[in-house]
């Protein structure tokens, strides 16, 4: 059944410029946090604004494009999949990580409402590759840019 897939879509703003790293294998990885906002009314009828921060990871070509086009405060639509993993930190403590592995980025701008879509087209998976960073996933992809 194709309807049951691990897919997430978020629209929000970057909390900082993407952090780009190159692994020993030559693969590039970008990390950044994305803030999404929700509003609701509590039992007393007061409006509550809530911000949720999401950890985003982009690989290879998409990482390079992220460093080129994304920056703190930039509004973007991220499509990807949720990844859960664990690792042992340098102090021997096991850490659990939840992150969004980006497959598509749509740059949103205000005013002229222009958009540019950056998509990640799979080559081969590199799950379990040596040297994952804390807060990253060892998957491999390359990115391509398409104007919209």
CA 32 to chain centre: 7
pLDDT in tens, the chain (148 residues): 566 789 999 999 999 999 999 999 999 999 999 999 999 999 999 999 999 999 999 999 999 999 999 999 999 999 999 999 999 999 999 999 999 999 999 999 643 444 555 555 554 343 433 334 444 443 333 344 444 4
Question: Residue 79: which CATH number?
Answer: 2.40.50.140
Tally of CB atoms within 10 A around 84: 9
| 117 part of a folded domain | yes
pLDDT of residue 4: 77
| 110 part of a folded domain | yes
Picking from 92, 94, 97, 99, the residue whose alpha carbon sits closest to that of residue 34 is 99
Interatomic CA distance for residues 124 and 135, integer angstroms: 21
Q: Are strands 94-108 and 47-59 parallel, antiparallel or unpaired?
A: parallel
Split into its structural domains, the chain has a count of: 1
Interatomic CA distance for residues 147 and 105, integer angstroms: 11
| 3 part of a folded domain | no
Picking from 65, 148, 146, 76, the residue whose alpha carbon sits closest to that of residue 108 is 76
| 2 part of a folded domain | no
Q: Assess contact for 56 and 80: CB atoms under 8 A.
A: yes
Picking from 3, 5, 2, 10, the residue whose alpha carbon sits closest to that of residue 102 is 10
Distances 102 to 9, 23, 57 between C-alpha atoms, Å? 9, 18, 6
């Amino acid at each position: 059944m194709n309807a049951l897939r691990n897919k997430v879509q978020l629209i929000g703003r970057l909390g900082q410029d993407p952090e780009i790293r190159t692994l020993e294998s030559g693969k590039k990885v970008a990390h950044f946090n994305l803030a999404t906002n929700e509003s609701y009314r509590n039992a007393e009828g007061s409006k509550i604004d809530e911000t949720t921060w999401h950890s985003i990871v982009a690989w290879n070509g998409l990482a390079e494009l992220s460093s080129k086009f994304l920056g703190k405060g930039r509004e973007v639509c991220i499509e990807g999949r949720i990844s859960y993993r664990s690792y042992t930190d340098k102090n021997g403590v096991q850490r659990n990580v939840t992150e969004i592995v980006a497959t598509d980025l749509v740059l949103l701008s205000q005013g002229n409402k222009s958009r540019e879509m950056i998509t990640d087209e799979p080559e081969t998976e590199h799950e379990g590759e040596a040297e994952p960073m804390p807060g990253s996933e060892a998957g491999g992809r390359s990115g391509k840019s398409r104007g919209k």
